[in-house]
Amino acid sequence: MRHPKLAFSACVSFLVLMLTLTVAGQTAETNCEDGNGKLNPAQPQGISVQELIQKFAGKEAIFKDARNHYTYTHDVIVETMDGTSVDGEFRQTTDVLYDDKGRREEKVTFAPQSTLTRIGITKEDFDDFRNRLPFVLTTQDLGEYDILYVGQQRVDELDTYVFDIAPKKIDKNGGPRFFQGRIWVDNRDYQIVKTCGKNVPDIRKKNDENLSPKFVTYREQVDGQYWFPTYTRADDVLHFSSGDVQIREIVKYTNYKRFGVKTRITYGGEVKQPQPK
């Protein structure tokens, strides 16, 4: 997000749903531990940490490819807070579909006039909502991150392996953006089921500050085999040089339906065929 007094933002199509946000205290902080049990630092049994990383990264590659064959609805709401009151909001709902030639397209179905005045939505924000809040860590991505095994933890009804990850290199002068934070990997399906952290780097240049909030994303199982992102929230304070701005975000991914094309997804020599509902 940019502060409008520093630079104008390009507000184009996004993704949103009308939601009621729970009123929080004036000290905003995205809670990574909500729903978590006690962290157990024990090493995984029957598999090395490196083998575990390779295994879930391979499953993430399957997930990434499979999700490209699903249609869904992407809903977003962004609010700025003045104490406990909302003083500006942005909303948009987008259907992610295929046209009659099988080409991916986005159709905005709901987009009221934004009332945000203290921040502006940037191109980087749009990219985050589309591509980085539903974070994916595939085998191809492993070389870009330092990955530290933390332990094992119960998340709601799931037993998970926990990792802290950070990009090996960050270019603060306009290079690519990366996720930095913690991920939880289901210990049976070897897919990421929860992500908490932020997208980096923040941009802090003269007359151009572009900051992003800390967020948490949850996945749910779709069609009995893929853990797709369904819900993201953020409650954070962005520290602009001109002053702090509390921001809250809710993103929902709903109505997943497999597009009617034949696909073959191979993992470890085994063909994985997406199953229709």
Domain boundaries, the chain: 49-260
Q: Is the pLDDT of residue 89 over 90?
A: yes
Q: Which of 129-133, 169-173, 190-194, 205-209 has the highest mean pLDDT?
A: 190-194
Q: Could you tell me which residue, 201 or 276, shows the higher pLDDT? A: 201
Residue type, 71: T
Question: What CA–CA distance (Å, rounded) separates 197 from 212?
Answer: 10
Distance CA 75, CA 72 (A): 10
pLDDT score at 22: 35
The predicted model scores a pTM of 0.84
Q: What pLDDT, on the 0 to 100 scale, is given for residue 4? A: 65
| Neighbouring residues of 189: CB distance < 8 A, sequence distance ≥ 6 | 59, 221, 225, 227
Strands 215-222 and 226-240: antiparallel
Residue with the bigger pLDDT between 165 and 127: it is 165
Most confident of 32-36, 119-123, 127-131: 32-36
249 and 198 in contact (C-beta within 8 Å)? no
pLDDT at 168 over 80: yes
Which residue has 């853990």 as its token pair?
A: 227
Residue 268 φ then ψ, to 5°: 60, 35
With a cut of 70, say whether residue 274 has pLDDT above it: no
Position 30 pLDDT exceeds 80: yes
Query: Using one digit for the tens of pLDDT, what is the confidence trace for 214-246?
Result: 999 999 999 998 999 999 999 999 999 999 999
Taking a C-beta distance cutoff of 8 angstroms, is the pair 182, 153 a contact?
no
Which two three-digit tokens encode residue 102? Answer: 């099988």
Task: Look at residue 8 in the predicted model and tell me its pLDDT.
Answer: 29
**Contact between 30 and 213 (Cβ < 8 Å):** yes
